[in-house]
Amino acid sequence: MKKAALPPRSEVPIHETWDLKTIFPDERAWQVAKEAVLEQIPELIAYKGKLSLSPHTLADFFDQIEKTMRLALKVAVYGNLSSSVDTSDQEALALSGQGQSMFIRLQAATSFLEPELMAIGFVQLRKWIKQEHRLSYLSHYIDELERQTNHVRSGEVEEVLALAGEPLGAFFRAYNALTNADLAFENAIDANGNVVEVGQSSIDSLVTNSDRTVRKTSYENYTQAYLNVKNTLAAVQAGGIYRDVYNARTRNYQTSLEASLGANNIPLAVFSALLSAFKENLPTWHRYWKIRKKALGYDQLHVYDIKAPLTTETPQISFEQAVEWICSGMAPLGKEYVAIMRKGALEDRWVDRAVNRGKRQGAFSSGAYDTNPFLMLSYADSVFSMSTLAHELGHSMHSYYTFQSQPFIYSRYSLFVAEVASNFNQAMVRNYMFDTQTDPYFQLALIEEAMSNFHRYFFIMPTLARWELEVHQRAEVGKPLTADIMSDVCAEYFSEGYGDDVVYDRDQIGITWAQFQHMYMNFYVYNYATGISAAHALVDGIQQGGQEEVDRYIEFLKAGSSIYPLNALKLAGVDMTSPDPVNRAFEDMARYIDRLEQLVESGAI
């Protein structure tokens, strides 16, 4: 019996890892930077009660706080990235913890800023902005602060809320440590009895394996590991939910959802319309399950078959080839965009793509105003991995353009627009591949990738958004939250989506809530569905339009938080207050299902 084991981080080739030396050359330099931030905190506190003295004093403070915040973000990002690729590395975990603690201290120390600005008065602030050129960039910031008047507390309360960030953040840290470092997965088995190691960095490749035994045993063992600690996970998750409720109430919001939407100036109707459209389109998913079952030739379609390859002729795509195809797919955005992206992926080592033991689950893009964008995934030489790479490069290019174009204060775009650029890249690259890779097996692989992407963003995430809404509403009225209650709610919603065409174990689908760290990001997951909807609308506009549409999209990437999210999307050409983008995205998905059905009915597969 052979065993396919994941390598330790120490054995990973350096070219498969990101280059964090571009942030700090070593840990000693990181320590020096961290201490420098801490030393600057008393200087910032000295401004407390003095911001109203003059526009010159206020400008001095903004200059100082920006300098300190920019350095603090570099410190925090370095620690977080170091720990993400090997969650068993105790030194890296310590760096991450110290960086977070430092940042919270800085936030608490400067929490007097917005209450004092409000005390100065918005009329006076706008006069000062005209008088002092160093404050001229603050117009939108002041408008946003005025909009948030009812949700900014006194200086003392703001300080307490900032200090509470560290203990309240412990729920996510506990979840991360449990699921990425301590959770023990039983090995999977292939059809020949060989052992295959299951880990967070390998599970995606295992559930897309052509060997049904590998898929079955990896899926079952993966979910069982979560079920084995479901009560601990539920206690941690409940803490995260009560944290959201606490934050909402202390900031004078009626609900956690209102707090999440209000921060980005998103109407509740956008969230409600998305869930309504999703529920109305569940029959489209039921149709897909039927066609997939027929394509596979199975009597029953199990949950672990949802990503089963429909042919053994699946294309193998090296990382380097994937980058080139992604660059070709994004060529309509211009030579500058492509050159920056190619250099970042192949020369500047933005990407950590290694598959190793201890690497945290999923994929992400990160970075700070004064660093490169960095993206992490576990690359597996597949169409799926190429799509994930395109997705994360979309995030990274969004960050790159924002950092290059906006002053620091507007350099963090909202979650509502974050998932647009990433899904835009995936859709652009997919369309390019459909046009250039005419081999039927490759076309089939592209359909599978497209449906896998829609499955995650238009099935998993909206379902989890429904779950998130219900469990938060339970917490807000004092109803209990236990592992069984959370799992029953989750299982009920997933069973609606699977209908009668997918065979599932209720406990296994019920524990899905525990498998996504997004559940610790107060109403984040719905952004995936709105993001993919806006992205597909933008792709249609660019591929049917011309340079004007491209220019508007690049301006969207550059906007950061200098305008409200809905306005940024309108700038690019999409109105997300209308249900049209969501419905059109479901129509796009249905066309992929049509393509698959045609291949099945014709006997091509």
**Which pLDDT tens digit goes with each residue over 176-210?**
889 988 999 999 999 999 999 999 878 988 998 99
Which of 367, 459, 524 is CA-nearest to residue 23? 367
Q: Please tell me whether residues 583 and 470 are part of one structural domain.
A: yes
C-beta separation of 271 from 528 below 8 A: no
Burial class (CB in 10 A: 0-12, 13-18, 19+), 163: middle
pLDDT at 165 over 80: yes
Query: Could you tell me the CATH number of the domain that includes residue 47?
Result: 1.20.140.70
pLDDT above 70: percentage of residues in the chain: 99
Give the span between the Cα atoms of 490 and 486, in whole angstroms.
Answer: 6
Bridge partners of residue 366, in order along the sequence:
374
Q: What string of H, E and C letters represents the secondary structure of 68-93?
A: HHHHHHHHHHHHHHHHHCCCCCHHHH
CA 286 to each of CA 3, 171, 431, 496: distance values in angstroms, whole numbers, following the listed order: 37, 36, 25, 9
Give the span between the Cα atoms of 7 and 197, in whole angstroms.
Answer: 10
pLDDT at position 31 is 96
Q: Please tell me whether residues 271 and 162 are part of one structural domain.
A: no
Q: Please tell me whether residues 451 and 547 are part of one structural domain.
A: yes
Domain closes at, from 168, 195, 223: 168
pLDDT at position 415 is 87
Burial class (CB in 10 A: 0-12, 13-18, 19+), 260: buried
pLDDT at 604 over 70: no
C-beta separation of 465 from 526 below 8 A: yes
C-beta separation of 37 from 75 below 8 A: yes
Mean pLDDT computed over 40-46: 97
C-beta separation of 214 from 307 below 8 A: no
pLDDT at position 5 is 78
Q: Does residue 401 belong to any structural domain of this protein?
A: no
Q: Does residue 91 belong to any structural domain of this protein?
A: yes
The tokens for 150 are 């009812």
478 versus 180: the higher-pLDDT residue is: 478
Q: How many domains does the chain have?
A: 2
pLDDT at 2 over 60: no
Determine the structural domain holding residue 528 and report its residue range.
256-315+414-605
Q: Please tell me whether residues 299 and 157 are part of one structural domain.
A: no
Other Cβ atoms closer than 10 A to 190 = 19
Domain closes at, from 168, 191, 214: 168
Q: Please tell me whether residues 487 and 595 are part of one structural domain.
A: yes
Query: Could you tell me the CATH number of the domain that includes residue 570?
Result: 1.10.1370.20
Q: Does residue 67 belong to any structural domain of this protein?
A: yes
- Per-residue pLDDT tens digits for 316-346: 999 999 999 999 999 999 999 999 999 999 9
Q: Does residue 203 belong to any structural domain of this protein?
A: no
Q: Does residue 240 belong to any structural domain of this protein?
A: no
The tokens for 197 are 């190691």
Q: Does residue 405 belong to any structural domain of this protein?
A: no
Q: How many CA atoms lie within 13 A of 341 on its CB side?
A: 30
C-beta separation of 183 from 226 below 8 A: yes
pLDDT at 238 over 50: yes
C-beta separation of 469 from 261 below 8 A: no
Q: Please tell me whether residues 161 and 269 are part of one structural domain.
A: no
pLDDT at 3 over 50: yes
C-beta separation of 205 from 383 below 8 A: no
What DSSP letter does each residue of 166-206 carry, written as one string?
HHHTHHHHHHHHIIIII---PPEE-TTS-EE---TTTHHHH
pLDDT at 426 over 80: yes
- pLDDT band (50, 70, 90) for residue 4: low
Q: What is the CA radius of gyration of the chain?
A: 24
Q: Does residue 196 belong to any structural domain of this protein?
A: no
Q: Tokens 């000295």 identify what position? A: 46
> Whole-number mean pLDDT of the chain?
94
- Per-residue pLDDT tens digits for 578-599: 889 999 999 999 999 999 998 8
Strand order in the sheet with 3-4: 3-4, 195-196, 188-189
pLDDT at position 1 is 45
Domain closes at, from 168, 201, 230: 168
C-beta separation of 297 from 603 below 8 A: no
What is the set of active-site residues?
Answer: 392
pLDDT at position 393 is 98
Q: Does residue 243 belong to any structural domain of this protein?
A: no
Strands 195-196 and 188-189: antiparallel
Q: Please tell me whether residues 602 and 484 are part of one structural domain.
A: yes
Q: Please tell me whether residues 23 and 129 are part of one structural domain.
A: yes
- pLDDT band (50, 70, 90) for residue 605: low
What DSSP letter does each residue of 532-559 carry, written as one string?
HHHHHHHHHHHHHS-HHHHHHHHHHHH-
